[in-house]
């Protein structure tokens, strides 16, 4: 099994390191993060939580993902989650269901931007997870949808995971029968893709703020 220490060895604290600042990570996503169709506690967020508990107990992970959720649904429940949990880092993995339903890219972009702005207004760092959609609604729609994530992350508003499924394309053995949802074997790869971006964000969140 791929471990978090192998993915991000910089998260391992040395014996003489100063105590790390506690960090809470909030994951707001859809079925891709909510363990749809796979065994409980086998999804990439569960793997993240388990590995972090071993590597760095100062980091807590809360998974608020809901299968079938859209960017509109995520935005509706986002502020209460921020108020209740006060996360240091928010991972936003939403948009797939907007794309599959052919909802306007402008609407998805607006919803995601509002979520990013809300998180940043509360002092949270943001990791935005990019996804791609099938070309069902035409090339212009799929290209605009894919570009939306990098546009939102531009200017340092959010750290970007370019593509959650990187390394899984055209690999049927990593998908469930619906060919849309990754299976258990794919979850460590999803975690690796996220951790390449999330790992540095965790370290940055743990860095003590020096008085001016």
CATH assignment at residue 36 = 3.40.50.1110
Write down the catalytic residue from 16, 17, 170, 178: 178
pLDDT computed for residue 156 by the predictor:
85
Kindly state whether residue 127 falls inside one of the protein's structural domains.
yes
Answer for the pair 7, 192: CB distance below 8 angstroms, yes or no. yes
pLDDT at 9: 41
Picking from 10-24, 48-62, 136-150, 195-209, which range would have the lowest pLDDT averaged per residue? 10-24
195 within a domain of the structure (yes/no): no
pLDDT higher than 60, residue 4: no
Q: CB of 78 within 8 A of CB of 118?
A: yes
- pLDDT at 19 (0 to 100): 63
- Clarify whether 16 is annotated catalytic: no
For this structure, is 178 an active site residue? yes
Spot the catalytic one: 31, 33, 46, 65. Answer: 31
Task: Give me the number of domains the chain comprises.
Answer: 1
- Catalytic residue, from 42, 58, 110, 181: name it: 181
42 is catalytic: no
Answer yes or no: is 146 within a domain. yes
Output the average pLDDT for the chain: 90
Query: 47 is in which domain, residue-wise?
Result: 25-189
Whether 1 is in a domain gets the answer no
Indicate whether 12 belongs to any domain. no
Band (208; pLDDT cuts 50, 70, 90): confident
The pTM is what? 0.90
Residue 119's CB is within 10 A of a number of other CB atoms, namely: 25
Please report, rounded to a whole number, the percentage of residues in the chain having pLDDT higher than 70.
89
- What per-residue confidence (pLDDT) applies to 6? 47
Q: Tell me: pLDDT of 5 over 70.
A: no
Gap between the Cα atoms of 69 and 34, Å rounded: 10
Judged against a pLDDT cut of 70, whether residue 90 lies above it is answered with yes
Mean pLDDT of 136-164: 94
DSSP state of 102: T
- What is the C-alpha separation between 115 and 113, in angstroms, rounded? 5
Whether residue 162 is predicted with pLDDT greater than 60 in this model: the reply is yes
pLDDT confidence bin for 35, thresholds 50/70/90: very high
């Amino acid at each position: 099994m791929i471990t978090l220490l192998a993915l991000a060895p910089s998260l391992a604290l040395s014996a003489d390191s100063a105590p790390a600042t506690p960090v809470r990570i909030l994951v707001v996503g859809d079925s891709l993060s909510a363990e749809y169709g796979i065994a409980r506690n086998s999804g990439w967020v569960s793997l993240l939580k388990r590995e972090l508990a071993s590597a760095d107990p100062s980091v807590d992970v809360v998974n608020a993902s809901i299968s079938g959720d859209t960017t509109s649904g995520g935005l509706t429940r986002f502020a209460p989650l921020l108020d209740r949990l006060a996360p240091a880092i928010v991972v936003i993995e939403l948009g797939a269901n907007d794309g599959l339903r052919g909802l306007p890219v402008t609407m998805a972009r607006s919803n995601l931007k509002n979520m990013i702005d809300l998180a940043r207004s509360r002092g949270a760092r943001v990791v935005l997870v990019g996804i791609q959609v099938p070309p069902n609604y035409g090339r212009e729609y799929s290209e605009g949808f894919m570009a939306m994530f990098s546009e939102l992350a531009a200017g340092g508003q959010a750290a970007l995971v370019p593509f959650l499924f990187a390394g899984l394309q055209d690999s049927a053995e990593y998908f469930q029968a619906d060919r849309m949802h990754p299976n258990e074997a794919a979850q460590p790869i999803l975690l690796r893709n996220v951790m390449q971006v999330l790992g540095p964000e965790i370290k940055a969140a743990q860095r003590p703020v020096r008085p001016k």
